[in-house]
Each structure stands twice: as structure tokens, then as C-alpha cells.
Structure 1
């Protein structure tokens, strides 16, 4: 039965070091703002007051934001401790300066005035921080926590909605933790601590305790039943890593600062107009605009990076009372935008020529509490008129007739095959065959578009947790291994895999894709690191972002040289562009 609606949408509107630095400066392009970053030694008189420099520091992120602006630009200090903002990157005006360097903070507020003439100079003095815990990323907390990696893997689900800071700073006992753990299951994925959204199934039956009897992750993400017998084990562990004993009973560990090529980058953050925005998916179009899907509000937005201006379009509500927010955002060959509207239960298409939405409701979206449409794959619907869907179930949707066909994962499989199959991310090849990424297991799952035959391909790394990915022009699927902590590629024609381990533990890559210049990109939810892989040399560079980010969907703008990386900050309501300088 055809379920389609069309909506009109309104617009809402030392000497050697000094010589080295001078040499680098002589070779560098003109700068708008430059200076040295150095560390104050413990117990020493403040270099700022004494008029002397401390030890030069490499890998310090220096961010500048002009008063009244919505754009923040960040560069990284080099091996001589020198940082430089290229001319043209900072408009004239007064700028506030912040830094990111684990274990350090500024020795006082820093600001500078940039003019359109001579470059401004500002040397920065850093001191040891008195609050290291506030600087730790989720990955650094996981590094610090006692116990096996297998144990800590269980808590990756926590960081899908919030960071680990609230847990480690709490003072709950194990007994007090138990009902809190169960309550977490009542919230939809698009919730934040400031704006929680209850699942339609408010008794929480769709929640799984983070600790399970096995590491398979069997069942669908967000829909495994509560294992009450495991809740207290979870609570016991969390009470052992928080402040219930008055202090942390383990040393705090941090990752090293960036070095070498990882310092050769410019990062630009664009504030979005609503501070509650969760830009889960951010994708650049052919004109350089960046579109984003809000995970917690029913809004589709567009950023013009040239001006910082943002336009937002309300997405139609198709299931009143259900949690709001969308996840996957995909362009088709016409340039139209397709969205998965999560608990609203509909597939949505935005016509950019008319600024109108069209929606297709799933067969049972009005009848079932847990009906979700998370992922969409319309790229090759011109082949056969079919769009693939991932959510509470996976579907093939005929957009001409409105017919939805659920994928039967047993089709063509021997009876002896017992692994439960489901897909998180979805992709399609040039023939519009379906490829599902088995987050709760270890497979890339092919479904033939015509015969519906299912072929599961196990990744070389067991229990890798394939999460999201994207097909390239050669029908190779580049994807993220969330638990395996790898970027991977599956050649759908040769039926072979390649995997590249991420050097930094607990990155937990969420998504991966290839650009037009021979690089593959990924990013993770826990370390604030953007990873660029040279697929020809296997060199991997990890670029640290200026703030806690919780990276989800990753994207590249292939119209720039080299391609620029884009991601939404789900913890800071910003869109972020990463531009490597080499």
C-alpha cells in the first residue's frame, strides 16, 4: 500500500631552537597570527611575569575565535613550539585564544588583536593543570580504568548518548547505580542529559545491561532485552571506577600530543544556531555547502562555510508523540537528500529544487513502539526503483508503489548457519545489491537485489563490529570496525578484505570512507581523533580535534585539493572541517 505525503517547508532562516624556528618561519607562507608555545616548569616563576620563555611544546592545539563570530580556527604547534595562522584565515578583530594539550592549561586568559596589516604575535605560556580529569577523553578514561579490555568493551554503549565524565565523577554506590542503569534503557538514542527523550516503550524493555554473558552483541543495537542478573555486576564495576570511595583508585592516563604530520593541519569549527543541535550526519554537496541531520530534533540544516550562515528546514512529524530526530543523510544522483527519521518510522526525501519533503511510512510504524528507520541507501535507486532501509528491520522499498519487503536473513543460507544476522550501516553496489554492516557481530552481509539470496562474509578480525561505511566507484566497501578498532575494505567483486588497525586504542571507529585522492578516512566516538589512511603506502595520520566531539558519520569534500574532511560535533553543536596541509 502506498504511504506517501508531500509537505511544503518554510525557510528558517634555546638558541638552536630559535634558529630552527626562524628557518621554518622563512619558509612559511604569510601569517595573520603567530607565536611560540612553551611550558612553565614546576615551581618556576611564571615566564609570563619573568619575561622568559619555558620549554617549547609541540602538538598544542591553538584555537582563535573573533568576538561576535560563529567560526573558530585551530592550528597546531610544530616541533619548535611555533604556531601560525595563515594570512586570510583570520579576519581583523579581537580574538579569544584557547588551547588543548593534555595535562596543561593556559597561564592566564589569552587574547590578541589581529589587523589587516602586519601579522600579530602572541606567545603562549602553559602550566600544569590542577584538574587533569576534566581533560580526559572517553578513550583515556577507558585506558585508565582497571580490568580487561574485554570487560571495558561492554561500556562502549554508554558513550552513544553521553561521555564517561558523569559516571566517573558520580558518587553512587553499586546499590544506587542499579536503578540508574535500568533507567538508561528508557531513553531514545537521540537523547542528551539536557534533553532526554523517552522511548515509546517506556518500561525500558528494549535496553540491555552493558555487561553481557557473551561478547557477540547478538540482537539489534538498542533492542536487546534487559538481563537483570547482570545489572548488579555492571553496577559493582561502575562503583569501583567512580568517586564513591572519595577518590579515583587508579592512575589517570593520557594520550601523547600530536607530532610531525599530525601537526600540519587547520581545523575550522562552525557554530550552529541551536546549542542543543546534535549534527549526527554532516555531508558536503557538490557546491561546498554542508548539510546535517539533527539526531535529537526534527530538522534538516545547511551550512555555507564561506559565510558561516545556516538555514534549517523542519522535517515533517509523521508519528506524533514519538521521539524526534534523524540519523542517516544520503544524497541520490539527482542531488536530493534522503533521511532516516528514527522513531518517527518514515523514510524521507527532501527535494532541494522545491524545498519539499516526501515521506514513506514503514508498514508497521504506527502500530509498533520500536519501529525505527535509521539508515537509508537511495544512491542506486535509478537502477531498479528500490531504496534499501536499515532500522528495526532491514527493508527493500519500492518508491513507486510504496511496497516494503523485509529482508529475510535466512534466504539461501544452510540450516546449520546459526549466527543471528542484522545490519546497522547499509550500502549498495552499482547493481543496487544490498550490503549490511553487522555491528552486533562480524559480518558484511550481501543481499542480492533480485534473488534476495543472503551471503554473509566474516571479517578477518573476529567480533569486529562493522558499523558504517560507504561504497566507492569500484564497488569496494570502505567501512569501520567499531570493536575491532580498524578501517577496513571489502572488495565486493573479488570477495576479499583488507584491514588497517588504528594505532590509538579505544578510538572505536564509527564510520569510514575513501576520498578521490587515494586516502581513506575514519573517526571514532571516544578519542576525538580523525584518522587519515594513505591506502597506497599504508601511512596513517591521526589529527586531534580541538574539543570533545563524539565522532559519528564522516564525510569528505572532494572539490578541494587535497580533499577536506567534515564531521558534526555531537557534544558541541558545531560542524568541523579538517584540512591537512600535506
Structure 2
């Protein structure tokens, strides 16, 4: 009898404990109105964990929603972001991982609660970004900077996990890498038909490759099964950097490279395909993707378009790269019009990457550039005539004109990623003027002209954001707080904040130029960021970017 009472008492205590557990979860859920899913992230090492990215993906969906835990380790998914259904939950927190699969069921009118207990990661190296690898490997900054040309096609992890010695790199790997077009990826390599006129050749190239090969063989696994240097990680997001919701839309094929993303007045996202001959359209409301075949005027050359920019009428303009053309896509008729470079200029290495259509109505002429020889072209859209400027004709080595951007009067400004120059071509006289950024070797890459005719650009090799006031002819620069961020591009929003992204750190930076404060938002996955875009029609503004190696489009919504 006494034994039965003890058993009953034990069962009663257990039942009370279970009841208390579920009641606590119910109360917690009930105190989160408007939330579909909530929980707390913790670990034995840290307790409550701030800055953990928590991602939810509905079964059968192509859309993933991500939020970030706050200083108390709490994360919250608004009901408007998660419709009812079964969701898989994953996290991003360098150095940590969840123990096994995690799922959540979203029910209408209720808040699901899932606490996440993280453990130390079993394979830290697999979690590192390109920036973290560059911070980790030994070597001089000049040696590490050579990898800035590698991350356009693949990760640094592929290099450090390789087992090639110096001879292997010199004789096989580096010559093979140099033969690929710059839109190549491991999934879809494409061969160049000809090297750039500005590229190093002969003994100069061989000397550079030997030096790089010797260094690379000291940071990979050619001599041992483990690395002989500690792995360094970047801090997780804090404060304002946790106040964000990120939506990722998967594209239909893993070979799609959404290099540039722009959003039209109807909220539709358009993207250029860096490696394939298509223009893409994404409806963010439904996730539906439509692809339009782009003409291929130079068959046999590498395919893909780099830039897509819109004119004042909302038409889209493509830089068609090795197809040696520019194209206009009329969104109403869904038809392309193509202007191909004249035959005498159409060489194996001709590479027309950029267009600048915002002010072409001033004189009916469109600015573009040519990576084949570091040149600038202007196309008379009515007659089809092409004009050419060769700013570095007398000293071409090392120069590389990357972007061309017109001001309100259709004067052209171009960036020289190989050095530190911003160039100006007067639309009326054709006069060329060169300016140098305050930072030597800054590598200005891509940018935009704001409403005040100020040119904003990313300093890819200087790890800074720059702006050039075209009226006062003065520069300003802001250094990025995270080493090896290496901004590719800059977009300025309606509030005056400057946004940029990184091909290396998986972070989106938001700069307040007045205070110099920078907020860095971490993305949920490895993301090769190129062109950045800000939609000013929303409040707060919405940031968009393509995952160039991840076949997805990302929307970032800051909550402030």
C-alpha cells in the first residue's frame, strides 16, 4: 500500500512538472501576439546566445525566412512571414550547430515555441567564410590579396583544402584557372577565347604565378593532414544587426548566377544571369520565376550577362559580356533590341559588361565599357555608331575599367579596379579627366550616381566605401569595420544611408555617412554578393541582392 502511494506521488509530481513545462510554453507563446514561431537559443558555453540566425523553410517551398536572436537569445517569426505548415529549422552561428534535425509546426492563430540548444561544431572549417579564411591563413596582405581574384569563381576553402604542392599549382592549377572566363563556377566553367590586352604575359606572368604557387602550397594540406594555423572567426551580429528579417528565394537551377538584381515599380525582381543566356524575373509574392532567352549574337563565345540596369521608363539594359553587345529589354512588349560592337572592334577578348542607361535620353547615346582592353564606348542608339576612348593606351598594364556611370547630363564616369582611378569623359567635348582616390590601390569597382550627381562606389581592394562629388571634385572614404569585406558595389537609399555587400564575409553593410556608423547584417548562407539594390518604395527600405554562386535571390528587411 505504501509502495502504491509512493508511485502515485511520483507520477503526480511528474505530471505536474510536465504540465508546468507545457503551461510555460503556452504562456510564453500567448505573450507573443502576431508571432507564428518563437524560441530561445542557448548553449552550455554561452547560455543565451545573441546573433544566431534562425531559418525556417516550409516543406515543399522554395522560400526560406530568417530572423536573428536578440541579446536574451530570443528569436521571433511574425505570423505574416510563416503560413501554416511543417517547417525545417536550421541555424547559422559560427562555431556552433544544432544537434540533429529540428522541425516546427505552424498552426493558424497559435504561436509555436521551439527552443534551440546548440553544441560546438564538429567541423569549424566548413563554416568559415572567405573573409575568415583570409584572416586565418598566414601570409602578407599582398599575398592574401591575390585571392581577391579567385573568389569570383570559387571559395577560398577549395584552395586551403587542396593538396597541390607548388609545382602542381604552377604547372596545372594556375594556368587552368587563368584560362577560364570570369563567369565560370565549378558547376559551369567556361573558357576564355582570348586574354585581356592589359593582362600580364610571358615572364611577368610566370614570375607572379610562381610566387603565388609557393605561398598557396604553405596554406593548404599538401604537407600535412591538418592546417598549421589557428582558425579565426568573426563575431556574431549584435544590437541593430539582429533587427532584420531575411527572405531567400531559390531559383530553378543551380547553374543560374543572379549577378545583378533590380526591382521595378510593381515590386517584381529582375536579375541578370552571369553564366547563361537568360534574363530572369521573380514575383516575390508567389515565388514564381520566369526566364526570357537573351539573343546570342556571338555564338561560340562564353555566355551570360553581367549588369542589368533600368532606364527612367523602366526598361532593362544588359551588358552582354563576351557576346560583345548591349541589349534593351522592353518590359511591356517583352522583346529585346541588341546593339553589337562593330566588327573591327569585335575581338576574341571583347567583353562588354556594363551599361549606363539612366541619362541616355539627354543625347540619345548610351555609355558602356570594354574589359578586353580597358576601354570606354559610347553608342548612338539611333545610328548604331560606336565611339571609343582608350584612357590607358600608353600604359595599359594593370588597369581594368570595371564600371561606367553617367551623371544627369550624360557625362561618363568610369572606375579603374586595377589601380585607384576615377575617370570622366565630357559628353559634349569628349575630354578625358582622371582623378585618383585618396587610398592608393583602392580598386574602385561598381557604384551609382545619386540625385546630387555624386558618384558612390565600392573600393574593392581598399576595403572602403568611396564617394566622389562631381561638382566639387572631392573624395570621401569610409573604412569597413570587418577586415576583408572588400565592397563590390554601393547603393544609397532615400535616407542617405549607403549599402554595400561582400563577396567574402557574407555580410551586408549599412553606412550612415553622417555619423560613420556601420551596421553589418550577416546572411544565412555563403553568399557571393555582387551588385546591390535598395527599394526605396518601402518603409523601412528593402535591400536586394543575388547569391551569385547560390542560385537564389535575397531580400533583407531592416526593422528600423
CA deviations on 1:283-326 (whole Å, 9 max, x unpaired) are 11111111000000010001111111111100011111111000
1:340-364 per-residue CA deviation (whole Å, 9 max, x = no partner) reads 1111111111111111111111123
1:257 pairs with one of 236, 240, 263: 236
Give how far 1:229 is off.
2.2
- The 3 A distance-change label for structure 1 pair 199 and 453 is same
2-side partners of 1:60 and 1:181: how far apart? 38
1:314 partnered with 2:318? no
Counterpart for residue 295 of structure 1? 274
The answer for the alignment partner of 2:86 in structure 1 is 94
Q: 1:501 to 1:23 in 2, by over 3 A?
A: farther
Q: Relative to structure 1, is the Cα distance of residues 27 and 110 closer, same or farther in structure 2, using a 3 angstrom cutoff?
A: closer
What residue in structure 1 maps to residue 60 of structure 2? 68
Question: Pick from 130, 154, 164: which aligns with 1:138?
Answer: 130
Q: State the shift of 1:537 in Å.
A: 2.5
| Cross-structure match for 1:401 | 383
Conserved in 2, the CA contact under 8 Å of 1:346 and 1:365?
no
TM-score of the superposed pair, with normalisation by structure 1:
0.88
Larger CA Rg, structure 1 vs 2: 2
Cα distance, 1:150 vs structure 2: 2.1
User: Which residue in 1 is equivalent to 2:455?
Assistant: 477
SS in 2 for 1:488: strand
* 1:177 Cα deviation from its structure 2 partner: 1.4
- Confirm or deny that 1:186 pairs with 2:165: no
Identify which range, 278-287 or 22-31, moves more after superposition. Answer: 22-31
Contact 1:478/1:489 (8 A) holds in 2 = yes
User: How far is 1:235 from its partner?
Assistant: 1.1
Change in CA separation of 1:463 and 1:410 when aligned onto 2, cut-off 3 Å: closer
Normalising by the residue count of structure 2, what TM-score does the alignment of the two structures yield?
0.91
Three-state SS of the structure 1 residue aligned to 2:353 is strand
Task: Please tell me whether the aligned partners of residues 365 and 371 of structure 1 are also in contact (alpha carbons under 8 angstroms).
Answer: no
Counterparts of residues 80-479 of structure 1 (less than 5 Å):
80-178=72-170, 179-201=172-194, 205-206=195-196, 220=198, 223-225=199-201, 227-245=205-223, 246-364=225-343, 367-391=346-370, 392=372, 393-409=375-391, 422-479=400-457
Preserved CA contact (<8 Å) 2:258 2:552: yes
| Distance of aligned partners of 1:347 and 1:106 in 2 relative to their CA distance in 1, 3 Å threshold | same
Q: Secondary structure at the match of 2:270?
A: strand
Q: Is the CA contact (8 Å cut-off) linking 1:297 and 1:324 kept in structure 2?
A: yes
What are structure 2's unaligned runs of at least 5 residues?
1-24
Paired residues of 2:29 and 2:38 also in contact (CA < 8 A): no
Contact 2:147 2:156 in 1 (8 A): no
Give the CA deviation at 1:536. 2.9
**Pairs aligned (count):** 529
Alpha-carbon distance, 1:419 to partner: 9.2
1:56 to 36, 48, 52: 48
Change beyond 3 A, Cα 1:79–1:456: same
Structure 2 counterpart of 1:546, from 517, 524, 532: 524
Q: Which has the higher contact order (CA 8 A, sep 6+)?
A: 1
Cα distance in 2 between the residues matched to 1:507 and 1:23 = 43
- Given that 1:336 and 1:352 are in contact with CA atoms closer than 8 Å, whether structure 2 keeps it comes out as yes
Specify the SS of the correspondent of 2:77: strand
Does structure 1 conserve the Cα–Cα contact (< 8 Å) formed by 2:324 and 2:346? Answer: no
- Match of residue 38, structure 2, among 17, 34, 47: 34
- With over 3 angstroms needed to count, the CA separation of the structure-2 counterparts of 1:27 and 1:468, relative to structure 1, is farther
CA distance in 2, matches of 1:556, 1:494: 26
Pair 453,22 (structure 1): closer, same or farther in 2 beyond 3 Å: farther
Q: In structure 1, the residue corresponding to 2:286 is in which secondary structure?
A: coil
Q: 1:425 to 1:24 in 2, by over 3 A?
A: farther
Q: Secondary structure at the match of 1:347?
A: strand
For residues 416-474 of structure 1, the C-alpha deviation after alignment (integer angstroms, 9 at most, x for no partner) is x9997652111010110000011011111111111111111111111111000000111
388-397 or 298-307, larger mean C-alpha shift: 388-397
Query: Residue by residue, what CA displacement relative to the aligned partner does 1:206-235 show, whole Å, maximum 9, x if unpaired?
Result: 5xxxxxxxxxxxx75xx4436112222211
SS of the aligned residue for 1:118 comes to: coil
Q: Matched residue of 1:497: which SS?
A: strand
TM-fit CA distance, 1:538:
2.1
- The answer on whether the counterparts of 1:364 and 1:371 sit within 8 Å (CA) in structure 2 is no
Q: Distance in 1 between matches of 2:128 and 2:77?
A: 26
Structure-2 residue corresponding to 1:559: 537
In 2 relative to 1, CA 484–410 (structure 1 residues): closer, same or farther, beyond 3 Å? closer
Q: By how many angstroms is 1:108 displaced? A: 1.5
* Compared CA separation, residues 191 and 365, structure 1 to 2 (3 A): farther
In 1, are the aligned partners of 2:260 and 2:546 still within 8 Å (CA)? yes
* Structure-2 separation of matches of 1:477 and 1:291: 24
Instruction: Output the CA distance in 2 between the equivalents of 1:294 and 1:224.
Output: 29
2:22 corresponding residue in structure 1: none
Shift in Å, 1:535: 2.4
- Aligned to 2:83, the other structure's residue is in SS state coil
Which one of the candidate residues 58, 69, 76 is aligned to 1:77? Answer: 69
How far apart, in 2, do the equivalents of 1:116 and 1:28 lie? 14
- Residues in 2 aligned to 1:381 and 1:250: alpha-carbon distance in whole angstroms: 53
Q: Kindly indicate whether the alpha-carbon contact (under 8 Å) linking 2:406 and 2:413 is maintained by their aligned counterparts in 1.
A: yes
